[in-house]
Structure 1
Amino acid sequence: MVDIIGHIGMGLIWLTIVGWLAYDGRTALGFVALGIPFSLLPDIDLWLSRAFAGVKHHGVVHTVLFVSVAAVVIGAILGKWVVPWLQRRYLSGSGVGNQYAYGIGAVWVAGLAHLSADILSAPDIADSIEPFWPIYRQSLGIDVLWYNSPLANWGLFLTGLVLTAVLWWQVNDSDSAVTA
């Protein structure tokens, strides 16, 4: 598990790449903005463990199953209320397509980014995760990144920022080319 800034960085990386591949211009940036808060979604277990005995960090909420179910539920809510607002305010004339798929996709990609960061950094101070539970019940941890490593955490974050900035500049260049 990387630190919060590392999870946000990994979320930026995944969301920017997927957003760039799936959408054009502002719609790709909207995808990143919509999804980034959910790059911390699996760590909801840290809060749940305070309220419910037996909830373990890196347990069931650190699985593809949980991320997928949460993405459908949260993404549908976003697709119903937030994505239309984004379209009216910031993405006018954009190619969002299905608003629900856009919301679900943003949450799902961000959640999977979190799991990938935990796979790369566990088990330095936390248990490895079992991302494919209940189908595959083995823990998975590659331990390439160290949790408290400023280089790893800030490296992920700065990489995500650079990728997002490149996307931003591409959008602004294409917007200025259209208006010129």
Structure 2
Amino acid sequence: MVDIIGHIGMGLIWLVVVGWLVYDDRTALGFVALGVPFSLLPDVDLWLSQAFAGVKHHGVVHTVLFVSVAAVAIGAVLGKWVVPWLEDNYISATGVGNRYAYGIGAVFVAGLAHLSADILSAPDIADSIEPFWPLYRQSLGIDVIWYNSPVANWGLFLGGLAFAAALWWQADHDDTRSATRT
């Protein structure tokens, strides 16, 4: 597992790439902004373990199954209340299409980004994760990033910020270009 800042950076990277591939301009940027807080979602087990004795870090909450279920539940709420606000106040005229899919997608991509960061950095101080549980019960850890490495964590974060800034610049540049055409 990387540090918090590394997870946010990995979330930014994944969200920018997917946002850019699926949506245009400000809609892609809204996708990033909506999803980035959920790049920490699987670490909810750190809080749950304080309330429930059987919950362990890097357990069932660090699986694609959990991320999928959580994305549907949380994304539906976002699609109902947050995405309409984004459309009214920020997102381009083309809109997001299906609001629920937009919310679910943002949470899902961010959650998968978290799992990928943990695969790259476990097991140094934490257990490897079993991301494909219950279908495949092998743990998966590559351990190419050290948890406390400021270079790795800040590199991921600054790389994610650079990607997001490029997307923001592109969206702003496209808005300026389209405004001069009319």
Q: Which TM-score tier does this pair reach, normalised by the shorter chain?
A: over 0.9
Q: How does 1:16-35 map to 2 (within 5 A)?
A: 16-35=16-35
For 1:50, the equivalent position in structure 2 comes to 50
Structure 1 residue 91: Cα displacement: 1.2
**Residue of structure 2 equivalent to 1:155:** 155
- After TM superposition, what 4+ stretches of structure 1 lie above 2 angstroms from structure 2? none
Residue 139, structure 1, aligned to residue 136, structure 2: no
Conservation of the 8 A alpha-carbon contact between 1:24 and 1:95: no
- Contact in 2 for aligned 1:40/1:111 (Cα 8 Å): yes
Which residue in the other structure is 2:102 paired with?
102
Q: Which residue of 2 is the match for residue 177 of structure 1?
A: 177
Distance in 1 separating the partners of 2:162 and 2:89? 25
In the superposition, the TM-score normalised over structure 1's length comes to: 0.99
Partner of residue 119, structure 2: 119
TM superposition shift of 1:94:
3.1
Taking structure 2 as the reference length, the TM-score comes to 0.98
| Matched-pair contact (CA < 8 Å) for 1:26–1:94 | no
2:9–2:161 Cα contact (<8 Å) kept: yes
Q: Deviations over 1:87-129 (max 9, x none)?
A: 0111151330000000000000000000000000000000000
Alignment deviations for residues 5-36 of structure 1 (CA, whole Å, 9 cap, x no partner): 00000000000000000000000000000000
Query: Separation in 2 of the partners of 1:133 and 1:49?
Result: 19
Task: Return the letter of the residue paired with 1:167.
Answer: L
Aligned match of 2:2: 2
Q: Give me the whole-angstrom Cα distance separating, in 2, the residues matched to 1:85 and 1:94.
A: 15
Tell me the C-alpha RMSD between the 2 structures.
Answer: 0.6
Which whole-Å CA distance do the structure 2 matches of 1:89 and 1:83 have between them? 10
Tell me the secondary structure at the aligned position of residue 135 of structure 2.
coil
Unmatched 5+ residue regions in structure 1?
A: none
How many residues end up aligned between the 2 structures?
A: 180
**Match of 1:14?**
14
Percent identical pairs in the alignment equals 81
1:121·1:145 contact (CA, 8 Å) conserved in 2?
yes
**CA offsets, 1:129-170, max 9 Å, x none?**
000000000000000000000000000000000001111111
